[in-house]
Structure 1
Amino acid sequence: MFERTINLVNDRIINYRFDPSEKWLVSIGIAPGSLEKPQFIKGNMQLFSVEQHRSQALETQATSFATCKVL
């Protein structure tokens, strides 16, 4: 659906999700940590807007879409 941003190029993709309206897509990848702390896992996320055809790269290891009804 979209090209990977530079932060996900060498990552192992572990998750791909979309919101119920399919207007937002997200891909999550993981990579080994830094040379100083290789035991840690680095998580990266790419959030993509279908309407705007734009991505935003963020550091994270998990994400979710939710719908809330405000009363």
Structure 2
Amino acid sequence: ITRTAMKNSLTLPEDEVARRLDAGDAYVIRVKMPRNEEVKFEDRIRGWVSVNTLNLDDKVLLKGDGMPTYHLANVVDD
């Protein structure tokens, strides 16, 4: 599922998002990745690595039950 195919605050009308929040619907918190950008970093083993953000999804940080995912907990723990 792509970002534009999901039914969330990025694609729903603002009044629908407000209605769902007021109704107490569960939600997640994601890292919103920039669109169509090259991200480059140097890996000590592989050398320079380049990834287009179109190939990455918006990672969930907090799940619908309010618990952190591994992506957040691992960084905070370190």
Report the TM-score when normalising by structure 2.
Answer: 0.27
Q: Which has the higher helix share?
A: 2
Q: Which has the higher strand share?
A: 1
Report the TM-score when normalising by structure 1.
Answer: 0.29
